[in-house]
Amino acid sequence: MNEQVEARLAQARAWLRQDPDAATRDELAGIITRAASGDGPAIADLDDRFGTRLAFGTAGLRGALGAGSNRMNRVLIAQAAAGFAAYLREHVRGSAPTVVVGYDGRRNSRRFALDSAELFAGAGLRTILLPRLLPTPVLAFAVRHFGADAGVMVTASHNPPDDNGYKVYLGGADAGSQIVAPADAEIASHISHVADSGDISSLPRSTAYETADEEVLSAYIRATAAVAPAPESAKSLSWVYTAMHGVGWETFSRILRTAGYPQPKTVKEQLSPDPRFPTVSFPNPEEPGAMDLAFAAATRTRADFIIANDPDADRLAVAIPDDSVEGGWRRLSGNEVGLLLGARAARGAEGTPGASLACSLVSSPGLGAIAAHHGLDFHETLTGFKWISRAPGMVFGFEEALGYLVNPETVRDKDGISAAIAVLGLAAEAHERGDSLATLVAELGDVYGHFASGQVSVRVDDLAIIDKIMLALRTLPPTRIGEKTVRSAEDLLQAAPGQPAGDVLRYSLSDGSRVIVRPSGTEPKLKVYIDAQADSAESARRAVADLETGVQELLDERS
């Protein structure tokens, strides 16, 4: 057996000795036994599990459950919690830092949260554990509610069933936003130090953490219900809701009662938390088929519209009746919902000095047109709510991937529940005058201009394919995309001094359209975003469709 395999086996055995989880110990022990006997697939499996570590970045940690440094497990969580505790002790002066811990309904979420709470408490931090599994926005709210220095949410949001994750927030001057550079690198350095120091069993633990009472949830419910209290016309709304096997329903249903909205018809098969996500192949409302049960329920009940949350309820999907599509229902794009909510916020903030709208650079430029129309500032940020939430004067922010921040005074992150309440408010107002959400979407074009968006995504098994395509585009930038000439090209890795950099390529085309290429931050995907503006909705849609074909041809050439 060669030295490399022996070294990998030694690494795996050292990991095995410190693993407190019987399931992952058994899993790893079997792989070690097979690898030690020379089994090729087992050796390759060890290389995959231990050849690297799950990287801690501005999205925290996220990956598949399993044994090894390149998986989500109790050893990795312990290292992360101890490293984050060291970072907080270093940066918070005066009294002991306070950290809030929350978790969703995924496999091992509660166990990872308990480990984190015990390790934070053992490190001398005041630690507050949320009372049970709850939506991610409740954790983001709780950081500010308790005046905490930090928060941790154990969730993988809308990732596949076998994934989990560790999302980190900072309080104080960061106001409950997700971490950004350089905090991510500093936390990662502390985690690496813990991992290099040896066995996690030597880390101090304590059960002297607090468990929050129900008041934190009640406070979130009150604040969110106040986003759009129901008008009288809301009583006759007919709609369908799905929680996508996640944790949104209990909290959302209580907010509906508080705000005065009728309870919806529900997709019962998807209403309660279930980490197996048995009715969907991928628990993301954007994915084909994910909302099919909701479409069927809405057809049966003749609903006016559908609202869906993703599993941790930080995202929102909305669907409306549309006879022109198969099945009779169309999910509004994230940009369409974002512009609806952006116009709502802009009308409310008009005349407020310094008020602004914000969206990520891959989201519809229509939000900028809305801001200009109402005399508001506009900020275009890098992707991620860690950037959107920090936009000066922001009264509303969104990202096309179904993320909306409608209540920045209470939650500085995307919040699919408060966004749903805002949508219900719009639906009720439209209903009162005999209109619908579809009418509101059409009216956006009449008032602010006709914008259309599209997306081409390439899902890969090997992330090196994405690196290859991005390198090819940088090495030989395209001069045309489809029939349109590329007027200018920007590489955001080459950011101006003082500006955040990103692995993003942006092309402005001769007709005013734009194409943006970037790797996904949470999934093994290359994403291409297309935006066009025209004098009619149909012309804008045709321009996007033509560019989608051109983009696909370009990717085929460079892959």
Given a contact cutoff of 8 angstroms between Cβ atoms, the answer to whether 46 and 9 are in contact is yes
109, 157, 177, 364: the catalytic one is: 157
| Distances in whole angstroms, Cα of residue 250 to Cα of each of 118, 223, 227, 524 | 27, 16, 18, 32
- Give the three-state DSSP class for 166: strand
Beta carbons within 8 Å of 490's beta carbon, 6+ residues apart: 505, 506, 507
Tokens representing 261? 């909205």
Two tokens, residue 344: 């709502």
**Burial (CB count <10 Å: 0-12, 13-18, 19+), residue 542:** middle
| 394 neighbors 112 (Cβ within 8 angstroms) | no
Instruction: Mark whether 109 is an active-site residue.
Output: no
Q: Angle formed by the axes of helices 366-373 and 437-448, to 10°? A: 70
Give the integer Cα–Cα distance in Å for 448 and 436. Answer: 19
* Residue in the block written with tokens 């599990």: 49
Of the candidates 428, 436, 401, 404, the residue with the CA atom closest to the CA atom of residue 417: 404
Question: In 75-208, at which residue ranges do the beta strands (DSSP E only) sit?
Answer: 98-103, 126-129, 150-154, 163-170, 177-178
Cα–Cα distance for residue pair 309/416, rounded to 1 Å: 6
Q: How far apart are CA 536 and CA 234, in angstroms?
A: 32
Please, are residues 187 and 312 in contact by the beta-carbon 8 Å criterion? no
The single-letter code of the amino acid at 211 is T
Place of tokens 């304590």: 206
Contact 289, 281 (CB under 8 A): yes
- What pairs with residue 240 in β-bridges? 265, 306
Q: Which of 452, 416, 411, 449 is nearest to 341 (CA)?
A: 416
Among 134, 133, 58, 121, smallest CA distance to 88 is for: 121
Q: What is the DSSP string of 30-74?
A: HHHHHHHTT-HHHHHHHHHHHSS-PPPBTTBEEEEBSSSTTSBSH
* Cα–Cα dist 463/442, whole Å: 39
Contacts of 265 (CB under 8 A, 6+ apart): 238, 239, 240, 241, 297, 298, 301, 303
Q: Are 199 and 17 in contact (CB under 8 A)?
A: yes
Cite the active site residues: 157
